[in-house]
Structure 1
Amino acid sequence: MGSRHHLGLMKTVPLCAAALALPLAAGCSAKSDASATGGKAAKPASLAELAQQTDCSLTGKRKVKDLEQGNCKTSQGRFVLLSFTTDNGMNAWLTEAKPWGGTYLVGARWVAVSQEQTLQSLRKELGGKIVQGDNHGPSHGSGHGAGHG
């Protein structure tokens, strides 16, 4: 099923994120250190600003209390953009999303979700750090792997 399973997750995670934000995100930070990575420093940006920076016409936009989400398809590939109102909200979302696998470009209060090659390209424009979700190889044994791959 590829990375499409993230879309369903993104509908439910914001509800959990508010309850989990403080205990799970305490001490966590996804701030980009441009000097350590040799890349561009990621700055906080709204969903509209992220779309403009990536030359994307957003589709399937959703907005809830602490995040905005939209889908993009450009010459760089297909990706999902998320913009958060707080670091805690973003960290809670990442904590909930990582067990589902996938690859994330994490910036300052924003995340892009896609294939690693697409995210490497987006990183040149947006900055940020590429983060891998949990590995869901054939022996992960959690029972929810049908369709992964």
Structure 2
Amino acid sequence: MTPRTQQPTRRHTARLRRGAALALLPLAVACGGGEGDDAADRKRAAATRTAVTAAPEAGVVAPAKVEVIAGLTGCTAEIRIDADELREGVCRTEQGEYRITTFPEERFQVTWLDSAAIYGGKYLVGTRWVVSAVPELLEGFRSRLGGTVRELRGIGPTTAP
């Protein structure tokens, strides 16, 4: 009898394809089509550089899933909201309490950020996810998750003279 060979699952094959595509992305960006150095090419290259520098040192960017992001920050999130527009989990750790909000589409994240701007504060913002925490925690999370720390301005009177 010969040992039976294991066939890769559909999920495994999709992961391999996605990994290969991500591995080749820098090459595709670096080896442009040679159309010239017009303004659109320069703008696209600048956007790519900005996105890369916003990523954490490990080169991994957290996916838009509350449970995975929570695991990367060292907690198990308690899901508070599970709606079509967003999912929100709360983490309670020795470091403090924070919220992780994910969105199925970018437009929902934009709406959420517009609404949060009323309250002001700093947030760690990634691709279809936001972490709400005290500013001291955000930089530590950024090194693990990627994203950008953004300060949203509140509305109303300020305490400054």
Give the structure with higher Rg (CA). 2
Structure 2 Cα separation of the partners of residues 89 and 135 of structure 1 = 20
1:97 alignment counterpart? 116
CA apart distance, 1:39: 3.5
Alpha-carbon distance between aligned partners in 1 of 2:134 and 2:111, rounded to the nearest angstrom: 21
State how 1:1-149 maps to structure 2 within 5 Å: 33-35=51-53, 37=54, 39-40=56-57, 42-59=61-78, 61-135=80-154, 137-139=158-160
Q: CA RMSD in A?
A: 2.3
CA shift, 1:96, in A, is 1.1
Question: Any idea what the Cα deviations from partners look like across 1:84-135, whole Å, max 9, x if unmatched?
Answer: 0001110111011112112110001000001111111111110100001115
Distance 1:47 1:139 in 2: 37
Tell me the number of residue pairs that the alignment of Structure 1 and Structure 2 aligns: 108
TM-score (norm 1): 0.63
Distance apart, 1:138 and its partner CA: 1.5
Tell me, in whole angstroms, the C-alpha distance in 2 between the residues paired with 1:45 and 1:60. Answer: 14
**Secondary structure class of the residue paired with 1:96:** helix
Segments of 5+ residues of structure 1 without an aligned counterpart are 1-31, 141-149
Q: Percent identity?
A: 27
1:99 match: secondary structure: coil
Tell whether the 8 Å contact from 1:69 to 1:83 is kept in structure 2 after alignment. yes
TM norm structure 2: 0.59
Unaligned runs of 5+ in 2: 1-49
CA distance in 2, matches of 1:129, 1:78: 20
